[in-house]
Chains A and B, each alone.
Chain A
Amino acid sequence: NAGVTQTPKFRILKIGQSMTLQCTQDMNHNYMYWYRQDPGMGLKLIYYSVGAGITDKGEVPNGYNVSRSTTEDFPLRLELAAPSQTSVYFCASTSSRGGEFEPQHFGDGTRLSIL
């Protein structure tokens, strides 16, 4: 089973460049999330979506944008890359249909460096 797939796995960007981190899931989950993980800082929620066409800000949304045009895909956009956005980015998904305590399923992350 593919689960949550993130691409690319690694990327180096120059300051001011833009890019889109891709995330797709094949579990028909309605909830999807983007987190960033900095060393020693745990996971911080950037944006999340409760279904296609619906997105909301998390704890650290500045400098990022998202869209959710389909159930499967939840891309994260960086418009003007800054060194502070150097991090490991994780996409996750879960379903509300199995009950309210379903686990989040994570991708393997995108390691992004801004130089």
Chain B
Amino acid sequence: TQLLEQSPQFLSIQEGENLTVYCNSSSVFSSLQWYRQEPGEGPVLLVTVVTGGEVKKLKRLTFQFGDARKDSSLHITAAQPGDTGLYLCAGARGGSNYKLTFGKGTLLTVNP
């Protein structure tokens, strides 16, 4: 059973466009992390969200944690080719914050 559903699975856009990717679950998570993975490398943490309704901004990236802590979104403004990569969300459940459940990821391609 896939606890975290990410959508879309693939996204190909032109430089300068905006986009949103989603991470949804029927389960409540105590925290949720977003990672970006580039080809040939391991995932690298972008952000951790902890509080329901929390919004965090990282330059052109905006992360939101749903009020019920079951879902999250990542919005990128004016995408650039350097944003290309696999975006993974990962949730930690209460009492086990050191064991993450990963979604399948959204593969983003930003074309120049």
Contacts and interface: CB of A to CB of B under 8 A. Distances in A.
B105 A42 contact: yes
Given A42-B103, A101-B31, A94 B42 contact: no
- How extensive is the interface on chain A, given as a class? 20 to 34
Contact of A42 (B33, B45, B88): B88
B9 A45 contact: no
B41 A108 contact: yes
A109 B9 contact: no
A43 to B, nearest CB: 4
B45 A48 contact: no
Interface string B77-111: 00000000000101010000111101111000000
Interface string A36-49: 00001111110010
A104 B45 contact: yes
Interface string B1-36: 000001001000000000000000000000101000
B55 interface: no
A104 B100 contact: yes
A42 B97 CA distance: 19
A17 interface: no
Interface of A: 4, 31, 35, 40-45, 48, 50, 58, 90, 92, 94, 96, 100-101, 103-104, 106-109
B88 A43 contact: yes
- How extensive is the interface on chain B, given as a class? 20 to 34
A92 B99 CA distance: 11
Given A90-B42, A92-B42, A42 B98 contact: no
Contacts of A35: 102
B44 interface: yes
Which residue, of A44, A101, A108, A109, has the highest number of chain B Cβ atoms within 10 A? A101
A43 B98 contact: no
Contacts of A42: 6, 88, 102-105
